[in-house]
Homo-oligomer: A and B are copies of this chain.
Amino acid sequence: MSLEWEQITHITKVDPAKPLPSDLGVLEGTDLVIVGGSDGVTEENTIDAIESIANTYPSVPVFQEPYSAAHVSRETIETADFVAVPAVFNGDRTHFVGKHTALFTEIARKPEDLLGASLPVVGNFIESKGVDAVADLTETLVGEGYVVQHLDSAAASVSGVDTTYTPEQVAGAALATETFYGFPIFYIEYSGTYGGTDDVEAAARYLEDTQLVYGGGIDNQEKATAVLEAGADAIVVGDCFHDDPAQFRATIPK
Contacts and interface: CB of A to CB of B under 8 A. Distances in A.
Contacts of A96: 93, 96-97
A193 interface: no
Interface in A31-90: 85, 89
A168 B101 CA distance: 10
Interface stretch (A18-26, A102-110, A217-225, A242-250): A102-110
A205 B106 CA distance: 14
Given A109-B168, A125-B202, A138-B179, A173 B131 contact: no
Contacts of A105: 168-169, 171-173, 175
Nearest to A89: B101
**Interface size grouping (class) on chain A:** 35 or more
A178 to B, nearest CB: 8
24 contacts: A85-B180, A89-B97, A93-B97, A96-B97, A101-B169, A101-B172, A101-B173, A103-B176, A105-B169, A105-B172, A107-B172, A108-B171, A108-B174, A108-B205, A108-B206, A109-B172, A126-B205, A138-B175, A138-B178, A139-B179, A180-B183, A181-B182, A182-B182, A182-B183
Given A89-B101, A104-B175, 17 more contacts: A92-B93, A97-B97, A101-B169, A101-B173, A101-B176, A103-B176, A104-B172, A104-B173, A105-B171, A105-B175, A108-B174, A109-B168, A109-B171, A124-B168, A141-B180, A143-B180, A182-B182
